[in-house]
Amino acid sequence: MPKDVAPLTLTVSIGRYSDAGRKPENQDCCGARIPEGSELSLKGITLAVADGISSSEISLEASEASVQALLTDYYATSDAWTARTAATTVISAMNAWLYGQNVSLGDMNVGKICTLSALILKGRDGHIFHLGDSRVSRLIDGSLEPLTVDHRTVLSNEESYLARGMGLDAQVMVDYRRVSLTEGEVFVLTTDGVHEVIDAEDVKAALEEPDLDAAAKRLGQIAFDKGSDDNLTVMLAQVETLPEGEDALELDLAKLPLPALPKAGEVIDGFRILRPVNSTARSHVYLAEGLDGGKVALKIPTVEMADDAAYLNRFVLEEWIARRLSSSHVLRAAKGPETRTALYVVTEWVEGRTLRQWMDDHPEPDLDKVRDIISQIVVGLRAFHRKEMLHQDLRPENIMIDDDGTVKIIDLGSTSVAGVEEATAGVLGLMPGTFQYTAPEYFSGDFVTWRSDQYSLGVIAYELLTGRLPYGAEVARIENRRDLLRLKYRPARDDESPVPAWMDAALKRATQPEAGRRYDALSEFVAELKRPGQTWQAARHVPLMEKNPVRFWQGVSAALAVLSIALTLQLLN
């Protein structure tokens, strides 16, 4: 996008109306929040409506608490989470609180119970969350399309009850739906007092009003005039503009200018440069003295990358990610200045050596030491996965072992953050690392999950024990699923590598070409590296050809030689 053209962002017009209608009290509640800056990009715009049950005098408290939780607590969740994870976590927590209040009453019919329907507009998508019989609809091509299904159990024309709602059960099952957004479309959030009596023509008529607040009020009035005897709540949201590409993600640091490459002794925002450490085509890394006097690593993009907006966003994300992870086995962000004058990222400085160097120094490592290294990496990976992140470039060069023996995952440049990918409509893309350690699904087009990191971990463990790779360079040649299924695992246990057979079985499962056949938890892999487990029991009757192909073919050759000699003697006789 040209620099003189302002990038498009997500903009939405909202209107709302809520009234008691023909009832003496309004037990509905509605609300919206439109944040700014990075919060708009990473969390989105939230709208919610709730409807308390008529049999309870305190159900309004449930409506207000449920809507308020989404408008506040949702924005306090991790920016790395997807809208679905963040919103359902908040809804589940509020439901548990309401249910606890209701149990003490002894009668759910007089408790804090309500419906809840919410719409989160994030990036170029809408995320719908629903419980009960309030509703989210969309006016599209002149038709009013319901995007939710009412949760009511109907016994007769006169009798029905709420089948699902906030505070009704200890565990809540939230309906979720994701829809693509289109500029100009209108979303309609209503309680049953409105949508049970209106239609698409009523909505179109209401939208003739000069603004959406007036349109929402008119729609409520139409429902009243049509005989609705319930509370009347309407929220309208019209999508005005949508973000485009990398412009969907607003990271302020990425807009700063690149600093001139510093020399030893020079200072950048309080960081005194000690010496250059490494330079690549993408970045320069320096050892510097931090703001607190300790050592830090300061990383600056190269001039060649200055106009690559996608790269600069990913570059800034490295520090952004580091500040959101909390583990002694993952690289930490260093203390930064209150204001920055230039574009760089700053992280802790790790004294030690890479796992690659450690492997060169220990070609025949002790089994317990290998297990210790893998166990520490797993702790670090869990920190990523809890935040819905994938490291995607796990390899010996990106793992450090410090002077105390602590293993630490470094280089977060390829890390995928689900919440960020969602906000940018995937424009940042998946960036797998070195081919030899990258899971096959990246090349075959299959779905990528946390098990993809497990594959990389399994390859590292295999290489630590054998000095080679389980599939050699074959993974990089995969172009489709058929190629993936052709991969043949080379057993870690052979004449040159006396790895215990039960450990070999664990390595084979962790590096399965098909992700679904890998471990269901990293802890299972760690456990089966320490002692024979179910994987070993299932793999005990491995054919000799697969277990030791060299010995198999030696045996076949010997048998053929004996057969040839026998046939020759028979012919001579």
The whole-number pLDDT of residue 538 equals 59
Put residue 311 in one of left, alpha, beta given phi > 0 → left and psi -120 to 50 → alpha. alpha
Q: Are 236 and 188 in contact (CB under 8 A)?
A: yes
How far, in Å, CA of 437 to CA of 206, rounded? 58
The whole-number pLDDT of residue 221 equals 96
Neighbour tally for 563: CB within 10 Å = 10
The whole-number pLDDT of residue 4 equals 38
CATH code that applies to domain 362-542? 1.10.510.10
What is 252-348's CATH superfamily? Phosphorylase Kinase; domain 1 (3.30.200.20)
Strand partners for 121: 45, 126
Nearest residue to 336 (alpha-carbon basis) of 327, 326, 348, 351: 348
Stretch (H or E) spanning 63: helix 59-72
Sign of CA dihedral 159, 163, 168, 169: positive
The whole-number pLDDT of residue 545 equals 63
The whole-number pLDDT of residue 169 equals 93
Q: Are 272 and 288 in contact (CB under 8 A)?
A: yes
How far, in Å, CA of 312 to CA of 343, rounded? 9
How far, in Å, CA of 543 to CA of 481, rounded? 25
Q: For residue 329, what are the CA distances in angstroms to 80, 349, 485?
A: 19, 13, 34
Nearest residue to 217 (alpha-carbon basis) of 232, 201, 197, 238: 232
Q: Which residues of the chain fall below pLDDT 70?
A: 1-8, 156, 158, 245-252, 425-433, 495, 535-548, 573
The whole-number pLDDT of residue 536 equals 65
- Which DSSP state fits 261? P
Report pLDDT digits (tens) over 160-210: 788 999 999 999 999 999 999 999 999 999 999 999 999 999 999 999 999
Phi and psi for 127 in degrees, rounded to 5? Answer: -115, 120
Stretch (H or E) spanning 328: none
| Domains 11-243 and 362-542 alike in fold | no
Tokens of 443: 């090349």
Return all residues near 107 (Cβ < 8 A) that are at least 6 apart: none
Domain ranges (residues) in the chain: 11-243, 252-348, 362-542, 549-573
How far, in Å, CA of 82 to CA of 237, rounded? 22
How far, in Å, CA of 499 to CA of 462, rounded? 10
The whole-number pLDDT of residue 432 equals 58
The whole-number pLDDT of residue 216 equals 97
The architecture CATH gives domain 11-243: 4-Layer Sandwich (3.60)
Neighbour tally for 41: CB within 10 Å = 24
The whole-number pLDDT of residue 55 equals 87
Report pLDDT digits (tens) over 106-137: 888 889 999 999 999 999 999 999 999 999 99
